[in-house]
Amino acid sequence: MKRALLILLLPVFGYAQNAGEKVFAQSCATGYCHGARGTPAGAPRLAGRGFDQTYITNTVLRGLPGTAMPAFGGQLSRADLIAVITYVANLNGIANPVISLGPGSPGASSPAEPSLSTDAERGRALFFDALRGFARCSTCHEVNGVGIPVATPISQIPANPGALRALATREVHTATLDGESMPALIVSQTKMQALFYDLTSVPPVLRSVDPGAFKIADGSSWRHDSVIGSYNDAELASILVFLREAAKP
């Protein structure tokens, strides 16, 4: 029985360590940061430093403010976080670390990578397609932590590409500044400052102006259709599938 258990456990341990080493190699031992297997490089040595488990977990999740060490909580998947924390703990002589990402820890709030259907995966790639430059959806929309949140989070997903093109954008106004009219998404307006996105061209420009020199009128000639022209209907349909699946809790 004992022997059987050992056989069962070994491959699991082997996997965790390999996974940790792999995550470490990809996310930590990048030529300009830590060295392979925790050796010193651009960033300090991590092996054999006598770090305790809490310190390792917290540093990986929250980073070290004021240094180049980023917070990986919420950035790596939960499985990858556990693997890499285990790996660094092993490098510090902690053989069987007990890792708690804990409720409320940055790792715990990490959005789980939803598993997507083939069509949604295609839609995701299109949504973030860097080859389209600024003509991609993520120039103005953030989904699952990636993309620039110019627009408010996507809450209602249009039924089809036609509806996506014809999307009513009542929040876009017409601003007049120094005699020039432009489509504008107002962020805030106080007596001191008007803050708005100038939508004249992509990418949108966040502009801060003297409210006295700035006039706003309802309505705009701006159309969502005019900024999604790099996609055809089939591509837009896949993007909508992606958005629907990504929105699932």
User: Min. distance of Cβ 12 from another protein in angstroms?
Assistant: 25
- Binding marks (x or -) toward another protein, 116..135, rule CB under 8 A? ------------x-xx-xx-
209: left (phi over 0), alpha (psi -120 to 50) or beta: beta
**What span, in angstroms and rounded, lies between the C-alpha atoms of 220 and 199?**
10
Nearer to another protein, 166 or 213 (CB): 213
Nearer to another protein, 145 or 162 (CB): 145
Nearer to another protein, 33 or 99 (CB): 33
Applying CB under 8 A, which of residues 38, 123, 183, 204 lies at the interface with another protein? 204
For residues 47-76, which are near another protein according to CB under 8 A? 63, 66-68, 70-72, 75-76
- Binding marks (x or -) toward another protein, 10..29, rule CB under 8 A? ----------------xxx-
Judged by CB under 8 A, does residue 221 bind another protein?
no
User: Min. distance of Cβ 63 from another protein in angstroms?
Assistant: 8
205-209/214-217 β-pairing = unpaired
- Binding marks (x or -) toward another protein, 173..202, rule CB under 8 A? -------------------------x-xxx
User: Min. distance of Cβ 182 from another protein in angstroms?
Assistant: 9
User: Min. distance of Cβ 106 from another protein in angstroms?
Assistant: 11
Judged by CB under 8 A, does residue 114 bind another protein?
no
Upper half-sphere CA count for residue 61 (Cβ side, 13 Å): 22
DSSP state of 36: G
Nearer to another protein, 76 or 94 (CB): 76
Applying CB under 8 A, which of residues 9, 10, 112, 146 lies at the interface with another protein? 146
Asked if residue 174 lies in contact with residue 183, where contact means CB atoms within 8 angstroms, the answer is yes
Asked if residue 29 lies in contact with residue 37, where contact means CB atoms within 8 angstroms, the answer is yes
**What span, in angstroms and rounded, lies between the C-alpha atoms of 123 and 242?**
5
Copy the structure tokens of residue 125.
Answer: 């790639």
Judged by CB under 8 A, does residue 101 bind another protein?
no
**What span, in angstroms and rounded, lies between the C-alpha atoms of 28 and 41?**
11
DSSP state of 188: E
Q: What DSSP string runs through 132-186? A: GGGGSGGGT--BTTBS---SPPP-S--SSHHHHHT---TTEEEEEETTEEEEEEE
**What span, in angstroms and rounded, lies between the C-alpha atoms of 45 and 64?**
15
Give contact residues for another protein (rule: CB under 8 A).
26-28, 30-33, 36, 40-43, 63, 66-68, 70-72, 75-76, 128, 130-131, 133-134, 138-139, 145-148, 198, 200-209
